[in-house]
């Protein structure tokens, strides 16, 4: 499963890239607004920092306008992906854009039926929102599992992007179910690496190494300096 950050914060994206595991970014109007920077410079910068797909959301619900916005977004960078909400007009725009070879991430998916429509409209990515379903006492992971199962049964090429992931268990379960991508806020990304036994084990190994070092004879230069 490819790991994406759900953010428009440039420092968070740079840090994810530095770890060597970040494969893409998703943004949405709320995240873009939070970044408080000019839209075009911001999205161009994000697209230049990360090599993989960067989803950029269109606005409104007029098919013609969504298509126009999609065509312009795709000109921003080679890795720009057009993000469109799962409405009838959004599906119509997805069909037109995908027929032109433009990659569309269909977002705000909350049911398997919607996910089937998105795939049939030629979506490049479908984004089921796991956490937001949990918020309304509905099993978000069950939705994800249903979509993975249906897409495999139908042989759809649309990638399943597990969105609205709120904690590491969501990420692990999404991977177990076979989601192609998991997108998450930076705090969830950071939480993936943390384990108290890693911290205490690392501390003890470091202390033991420092004690043993003077008695170990010649060491490779980089180990001597570490």
Strand 159-162 with 54-57, pairing = unpaired
- Please give the Cα distance from 104 to 171 (Å, whole number): 23
Name the catalytic one among 83, 187, 203, 211: 83
Adjacent-strand bridge partners of 83:
57, 105
User: 28, 206 in Cβ contact below 8 A?
Assistant: no
Is there a catalytic annotation at residue 83?
A: yes
6 makes contact with ligand E4P (CB under 6 A): yes
CB of 154 to ligand E4P, least distance (A): 23
| Using rule CB under 6 A, residue 183 touches ligand E4P | yes
24 binds ligand E4P (CB under 6 A): no
- Of 76, 132, 146, 186, the one binding ligand E4P (CB under 6 A) is 132
CA distance 133 to 113: 15
The yes or no reply on residue 2 touching ligand E4P (CB under 6 A) is no
Binders in 150-169 for ligand E4P, by CB under 6 A: 163-164
Which range, of 90-98, 125-133, 136-144, 190-198, touches ligand E4P by CB under 6 A?
125-133
The count of residues in the chain is: 226
155: left (phi over 0), alpha (psi -120 to 50) or beta: left
The residues that bridge with 85 in the sheet, in sequence order, are 107
Residues annotated as part of the active site: 83
Question: By the criterion CB under 6 A, which residues form the site for ligand E4P?
Answer: 6, 26, 28, 107, 127, 129, 131-132, 163-164, 183
């Amino acid at each position: 499963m490819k790991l994406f950050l759900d953010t428009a914060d440039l420092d968070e994206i740079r840090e994810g890239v530095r770890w060597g595991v970040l494969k893409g970014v998703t943004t949405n109007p709320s995240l873009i607004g939070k970044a408080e920077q000019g839209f075009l410079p911001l999205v161009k910068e994000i697209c230049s920092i990360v090599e993989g797909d960067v989803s950029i959301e269109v606005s409104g619900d007029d098919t013609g306008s969504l298509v126009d916005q999609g065509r312009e977004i795709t000109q921003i960078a080679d890795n720009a992906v057009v993000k469109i909400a799962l409405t009838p007009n959004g599906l119509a725009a997805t069909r037109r854009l995908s027929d032109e070879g433009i990659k569309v991430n269909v977002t705000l998916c909350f049911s398997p039926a919607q996910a089937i429509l998105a795939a049939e409209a030629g979506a490049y990515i479908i984004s089921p929102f796991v956490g937001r379903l949990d918020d309304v006492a509905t099993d978000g992971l069950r939705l994800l599992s249903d979509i993975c199962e249906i897409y495999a049964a139908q042989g759809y090429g649309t990638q399943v992007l597990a969105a609205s992931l709120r904690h590491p268990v969501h990420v692990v379960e999404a991977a177990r179910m076979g989601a192609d991508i998991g997108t998450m806020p930076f705090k969830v990304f950071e939480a993936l690496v943390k384990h108290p036994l890693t911290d205490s084990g690392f501390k003890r190994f470091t202390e033991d190494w420092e004690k043993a070092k003077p008695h170990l004879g010649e060491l490779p230069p980089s180990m001597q300096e570490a």
